[in-house]
Structure 1
């Protein structure tokens, strides 16, 4: 059954309840969170839920676009059938997430700025292929970390938990496939020129930081009635409590990348925060 058919969309979501777990809300655990009024805190959980789902929409678009361009190409012949299946499922995820955002949030946040890609021109076509799908995998794993946590959070409304539960079920299979595909693509890079692997490792570690940064959306702060969103973003991202959350969020992905031969230790704090 398609994901969209599993939901009986409510006219509204229970008033007064958060839409995102406090632990995952970007200023949580810092003095900036305590400085917010209860109304601002609840509003921020709602707009950050819309922001997270918007990221899911944009991530599904990237995967579908990349997969459609390659599904009948010779290097992907062995996974063509799986790509067809996942194209359909990701398109359904995109539809459900967008409907939630538009129905209950009245908006989709635009895609965040892309990371600097100037260095990609120096890489081989095989390495660029690996980066395309590794970046998709990184975003899927970060978003699925949120799905898994919030599917089991009893403080959230039933409709919100249910969306996370169903998407986590599907994303787990997609991540397994994505890891297999990325390992295969990295193997082709290693067979061609192992000297490219450290460049890939550096690029992917930068992308991990970029992906975490997309969770800190100044527009969500503004919509929640919080002044000076860029300053709050910078302070929250650099706070030790949030750096610890980032490390927990990325632990699974970094472990996979190390096992795949492109792991790299994160930069030590303090860390520079890319502006939005």
Structure 2
């Protein structure tokens, strides 16, 4: 087998065919699908209360409901902004690999993946611009490693990061799509994204498993440990992107930088964070990508 060829099992090929067909069958035009109201009420929840970044800490109890709802608005805008930035980064990586020898067998699905992610980026940005009048800037979820890795490692890390990003986001999407305290517009944005991401996650888990096997056969045990450390740092960095001082400032909280530092250090946030990452962490452990579930502090 050539080093430039992605090994494909019958199971993987069948999955690709099924997911590609489902993308075709489930296709929708997002520019026609959404009916955007002129505004959303400021005195309502824009994000499920148990998802906002102060939940599980004394700060949550110290703010009145009006302040918490204002915080939920700007945390919602931050969440969708993170999606825009994260999708842009993953699109760059996937486009760089489509119709290359290593990923030729997955390229038909990549075309649907790229199209769907581009449309997700559009409707998340549209939400932010319509109802927040901006996107928050963010270097979080930056995809490029800080050091040069072997090709097998780089390919694995790209798709492991994409998978983690999608699974982390899907936790929020699933929760908010089912939350009747949120407006139908917010529920619809999250519901539609979840429906598409379920295909991407199924594909991503299979691909990451394949790439992990190829990486293990090509690099040293020391390099595998370095990869685990890198991925775990990426997970923590991604979680910390939800603690945005610009959000706290826009919500009217005093000392926004201190709020961020307090929340990152708050023991009460660890349980909430673990709920967000439960599924990808379980996958990384079951697949042998992680030796344990400890994360750096």
* TM-score, scaled to structure 1: 0.92
Larger radius of gyration: 2
Which residue of the other structure, out of 240, 244, 247, is the alignment partner of 1:220?
247
Of 150, 156, 169, which aligns to 1:130? 156
Q: For residues 104 and 38 of structure 1, what CA distance do their matches in structure 2 show?
A: 20
| Counterparts in 2 of 1:204 and 1:97: CA distance versus 1, 3 Å | same
Q: Which residue of 1 aligns with 2:5?
A: none
Asked if 1 retains the 8 angstrom alpha-carbon contact of 2:81 and 2:125, the reply is yes
In structure 2, the partner of 1:243 is 270
Quick check: 2:46–2:72 contact (8 Å CA) kept in 1?
A: yes
The aligned residue for residue 259 of structure 1 is 286
Query: Which one of the candidate residues 24, 48, 72 is aligned to 2:51?
Result: 24
Unaligned runs of at least 5 residues, structure 2: 1-27
Please report how far the alpha carbon of residue 15 of structure 1 lies from its aligned counterpart in structure 2 after TM superposition.
Answer: 4.0
Aligned residues: 268
Distance 1:10 1:194 in 2: 55
Partner residue, 2:119: 92
Matches within 5 A, 1:46-125: 46-113=73-140, 114=142, 117-118=145-146, 120-121=147-148, 123-125=149-151
> 1:112 deviation in Å?
2.9
Q: Identify which of 214, 220, 223 aligns with 1:188.
A: 214
Asked whether the equivalents of residues 198 and 262 of structure 1 are also in contact (C-alpha less than 8 Å), the reply is: no
1:39 lines up with 2:42 in the alignment:
no
Distance 2:171 2:285 in 1: 19
2:173 is matched with: 147
Q: Deviations over 1:83-119 (max 9, x none)?
A: 011000000000000000000110001123548943x
How far off is 1:194 after superposition?
4.7
Give unpaired runs (5+ residues) of structure 1: none
Partner SS state of residue 211, structure 1: helix
SS class of match (1:70): coil
Aligned pair partner of 1:169 in 179, 192, 195: 195
Question: Residue 2 of structure 1: CA displacement?
Answer: 2.4
How large is the Cα RMSD of the aligned pairs? 1.7
- Report if the CA contact (8 A) 1:50-1:101 is conserved: yes
Report the more deviating stretch, 206-215 or 92-101: 206-215
Instruction: Please say if residues 54 and 101 of structure 1, whose CA atoms lie closer than 8 Å, have aligned partners that are also in contact.
Output: yes
| Of 11, 23, 34, the match for 1:7 | 34
Q: Deviations over 1:151-206 (max 9, x none)?
A: 00111111101111111111111111111221121111012125132221111111
Q: What TM-score, normalized by structure 2, do the two folds share?
A: 0.86
Conservation of the 8 A alpha-carbon contact between 1:151 and 1:164: yes
Q: Distance in 2 between matches of 1:23 and 1:4?
A: 31
Q: How many angstroms apart in 2 are the aligned matches of 1:75 and 1:115? A: 20
Of the structure 1 ranges 232-241 and 166-175, higher mean CA displacement relative to structure 2 is found in: 232-241
Pick closer, same or farther for the CA change 1:115–1:242 going to 2, 3 Å.
Answer: farther
| More displaced stretch, 76-85 vs 233-242 | 233-242
Q: Per-residue deviation at 1:125?
A: 1.6
Structure 2 distance, partners of 1:256, 1:235, is 30
State the shift of 1:233 in Å. 1.3
State how far apart, in whole Å, the 2-side matches of 1:116 and 1:62 are: 9
